[in-house]
């Protein structure tokens, strides 16, 4: 696929920017990434003042925008692909668009989430030629505010990262063993969801930020995971939770694809999008629609190891054979952008 792409995102191996860079390499696409974390540099007081007093504004928004404009000038891309609430102003985007670059946003977060809502970003959002959202819930809202060519595009998985571990030693099993694991930040709603599972006496492993701040989840907090750690934690756990963020109006999450790609047994929050991904209850995942149902399903599956293996195998096959890699997602994005450029 012949194209030059400038990605605005986070390049870490477990971040979407890194997944898209590897996807581009596998497609033979000439890709460059500008690390969005630079927009948030600065002193703590400056970051807090910009975030809380200036509408969730990154501390170095203007400086970072200039860096993106410079990178676009140097790389001469066909497509600028921004991920999420990309810290690029509307003026910067218009400057880049004036050179004939197609502007695309893969909108990983819901901009109407109160934790993210930012007037500067809504202005920028209307400048993109194509907006891809991994949630069906905000398609109408995006069109209402004037976003162009809005499409639903689910998350995916990176086969270089999300695969069964090459080895899983006894020490690895002892370190990561759990009845139930979950990886993600400790949102208030997630803490409330996890409390009954922990109170029921199950061995729960929680990875990500802030789980140690709540007394109910503190003993289950296990810190952060790198790419290898994710593979080990999913493989060593008997069940892997796939939760959505209600404040984000999610119907699925990144873990919805990553867990089955690695080979974990998915215990999945019941949503329309999850059912489209995994099929009917019991085909490739077990569903729950409340914390109490989650505990019941977990207990039933923990007592049925063969059933867990069947679900894990079915989910793995469904995801890995279903065209769900980030290479597949990037192909859709670039083909859509190419049609728009003609």
Q: pLDDT tens digits, residue range 43-100?
A: 666 666 555 656 678 989 999 999 999 999 999 999 999 999 999 999 999 999 999 9
Non-local CB neighbours of 15 within 8 Å, separated by 6+ positions: 9
Q: How far apart are CA 335 and CA 330, in angstroms?
A: 8
What does the H/E/C string look like for 155-221? Answer: CCECCCCCCCCCCCCHHHHHHHCEEEEEECCCCHHHHHHHHHHHHCCCCEEEECCCHHHCCCCHHHE
pLDDT for 233: 97
pLDDT for 213: 95
Q: How far apart are CA 66 and CA 41, in angstroms?
A: 15
Where b means 16+ CB within 10 Å and e means fewer, 218-256 reads eebbbeebebebbbbbbbbbbbbbbbbbeebebbbbbbb
> Across the chain, what does the average pLDDT equal?
94
Residue 21, classed as helix, strand or coil, is helix
CA dist list (Å): 155 to 74, 148, 174, 177, 317? 30, 20, 31, 27, 17
Q: How far apart are CA 86 and CA 89, in angstroms?
A: 9
pLDDT for 211: 97
> For the CA atoms of 262, 268, 272, 276, what is the dihedral angle to 10 degrees?
30
Q: How far apart are CA 195 and CA 201, in angstroms?
A: 10
For 208-239, write each residue's pLDDT tens digit: 999 999 999 999 999 999 999 999 999 999 99
With beta carbons less than 8 A apart as the criterion, state whether 32 and 75 touch. yes
Q: How far apart are CA 147 and CA 77, in angstroms?
A: 22
Going along the chain from its start, the domains and CATH numbers come out as 4-156+325-341 (3.40.50.2000), 170-320 (3.40.50.2000)
* Length, in residues, of the chain: 342
Task: List helix spans (H) across the chain.
Answer: 16-27, 44-53, 61-75, 90-97, 119-125, 139-144, 170-176, 188-199, 227-236, 255-262, 272-278, 291-302, 305-320, 326-341
Query: Which residues of the chain are under the pLDDT cut of 70?
Result: 1, 42-55, 340-342
Where b means 16+ CB within 10 Å and e means fewer, 9-47 reads bbbebbbbbbbbbbbbeebebebebbbbeebeeeeeeeb
Q: How far apart are CA 181 and CA 264, in angstroms?
A: 10
pLDDT for 115: 86
pLDDT for 1: 61
With beta carbons less than 8 A apart as the criterion, state whether 88 and 82 touch. yes
């Amino acid at each position: 696929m012949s194209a030059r792409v400038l990605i605005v995102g986070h390049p870490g191996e477990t971040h979407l920017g890194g997944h898209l860079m590897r996807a581009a390499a596998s497609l033979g696409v000439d890709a460059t990434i500008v690390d969005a974390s630079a927009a948030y540099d600065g002193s703590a007081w400056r970051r807090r003042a910009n975030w809380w007093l200036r509408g969730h504004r990154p501390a170095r928004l203007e400086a970072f925008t200039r860096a993106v404009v410079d990178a676009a000038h140097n790389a001469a891309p066909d497509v600028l692909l921004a991920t999420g609430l990309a810290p690029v102003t509307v003026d910067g985007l218009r400057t880049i668009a004036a050179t004939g670059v197609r502007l695309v946003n893969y909108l990983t977060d819901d901009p109407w989430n109160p934790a993210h809502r930012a007037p500067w970003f809504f202005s920028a959002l209307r400048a993109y030629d194509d907006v891809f959202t991994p949630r069906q819930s905000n398609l109408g809202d995006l069109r209402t505010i004037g976003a162009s060519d809005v499409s639903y595009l689910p998350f995916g998985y990176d086969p270089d990262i999300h695969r069964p571990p090459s080895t899983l030693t006894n020490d690895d099993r002892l370190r990561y063993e759990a009845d139930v694991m979950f990886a993600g930040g400790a949102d208030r709603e997630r803490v409330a969801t996890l409390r009954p599972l922990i109170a029921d006496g199950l061995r729960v492993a929680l990875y990500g930020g802030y789980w140690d701040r709540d007394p109910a989840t503190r003993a289950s907090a296990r810190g952060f995971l790198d790419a290898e750690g994710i593979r080990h934690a999913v493989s060593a756990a008997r069940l892997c939770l796939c939760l959505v963020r209600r404040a984000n109006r999610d119907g699925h999450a990144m873990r919805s694809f990553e867990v089955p790609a690695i080979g974990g047994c998915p215990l999945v929050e019941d949503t329309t999008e999850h059912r489209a991904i995994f099929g009917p209850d019991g085909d490739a995942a077990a569903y729950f629609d409340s914390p109490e149902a989650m505990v019941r399903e977990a207990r039933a599956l923990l007592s049925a190891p063969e059933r867990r293996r069947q679900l894990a195998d079915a989910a793995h096959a469904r995801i890995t054979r279903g065209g769900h890699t980030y290479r597949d997602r990037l192909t859709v994005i670039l083909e859509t952008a190419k049609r728009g450029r003609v």
